[in-house]
Structure 1
Amino acid sequence: LQATHKDLERNNHIEVEKRRTYAAMVSSMDDGIGLILDKLEEKKITDNTIVIFFSDNGGVEWYNFSDNGILRGIKGDFFEGGIRVPFTMQWPKKIKPGTTYDKPIIALDVFATVASAASAEKYIKNEIDGVDLLPYITGKKSGLPHEYLYWKNPDKEIDVVRDERYKYLRIKSDEYIFDLKNDISEETNIIDSSKPIYDRLKSQFKNWEKDMIDPVFLDLGSGKEYNKLNPDRWFNSSQEKQ
């Protein structure tokens, strides 16, 4: 964690050092985003420019003293604290200010949404998993962008699938069913009283998994294994490459 003295001073009311540094970094990011939005105004193109802002994952509370609130888990987890994030979109010409959309979406939808907005679908050669969100946000379409959302981490032996209300989570040999409508903190595993929900969600996951290929890349933490498989990964400029 690193921050400028100016940004640290702006947050000197925060006593915990790491949280103060984290807040200072967020302040700096806010300033940067503000400069971009100001430039859009200056160029008079705000009304017809899509601005999307979201986080890639939840915070790592023990490391940087971020705060996931009532959500269980942290970055790297597949509890809501790891995967449920803030998401905002601005396009004044198309999206009414103050609009709130509360149906499940996923980061994969960003590409599909901007491709559609730019009329670029004809250039997309492969099938994509994301959904154009604009018809749902503007009310032109009802229903759900996704009936189910899926996650899988083979290295950690984690499977996840959720619908609008319920979520199935497997971590190695442990399995969970959570009612996200009434238990967003995932405090109560209702698997013993929810066999039909369990069977449906697990079946959906298995059907989805059949279409998946094996991971092409090693996990981010597998640098040593990757080096063994690719001994010429790094080139030493002081030596002639073999």
Structure 2
Amino acid sequence: MIKAIVTDIEGTTSSIDFVHQTLFPFARTRMRAFLRENAGDDRVQALLADVEEVEKGDLSLDEAADVLERWIAEDRKLTPLKALQGMIWKTGYEAGELKGHVYADTPEALRGWHAAGKALYVYSSGSVEAQKLIFGHTDYGDLTPLFSGYFDTRIGGKREAASYRRILDEIALPGAQVLFLSDVGEELDAARAAGMQTCQLVRDDKTVPAPAHPQAKSLAEVSA
């Protein structure tokens, strides 16, 4: 019996195009100005230090901005980038410039599972803050009260089985009672290796099918 559901965001609950065509450009065009305006913020300073650690050298503010803009273009799954993006997106959501996209079937499925007593969690490469912003500012209202917790790359890479074992430790459930939803086969493989149940969301022809896992075209088709 499934007692908890852990869901990815991009291509699962929300459109990949929203992330790549709306969120990424929004952060990229504002990154340099954001760093300049918040250069004295302790958290921003710590994240810039993390960028220097990845790049293995001291960077000026403009050099760091160059690196971060390049990482966005390359869709790098790096924690300092994701954290800074989340901070920039927060300003956009609060100003009404951004609205979190979720598929029309997402709210109904999440509310149904929540009402049935299943604990809901998010695991995405985007920062926890960014995850909460997407689900907190949708056309269907604030969906964050439906979730029991959030995980990002601080728990580990999404294609590493160890990350899913850590999640199981955090939520204190055996893998057999936890369902992981994603559109990416390698992530599903890692979750299954950790003992989780899996289901691949195949919403369009951009998704590479992973026949080793059960598949669904929408959350309404997911058997949980």
Per the shorter chain, which TM-score range? under 0.3
Q: What TM-score does the superposition give when structure 1 sets the normalisation length?
A: 0.25
Q: What TM-score does the superposition give when structure 2 sets the normalisation length?
A: 0.27
- The structure in which a higher percent of residues are helix is 2
Higher relative contact order (CA 8 A, sep 6+): 2
Please identify the structure whose Cα radius of gyration is greater. 1
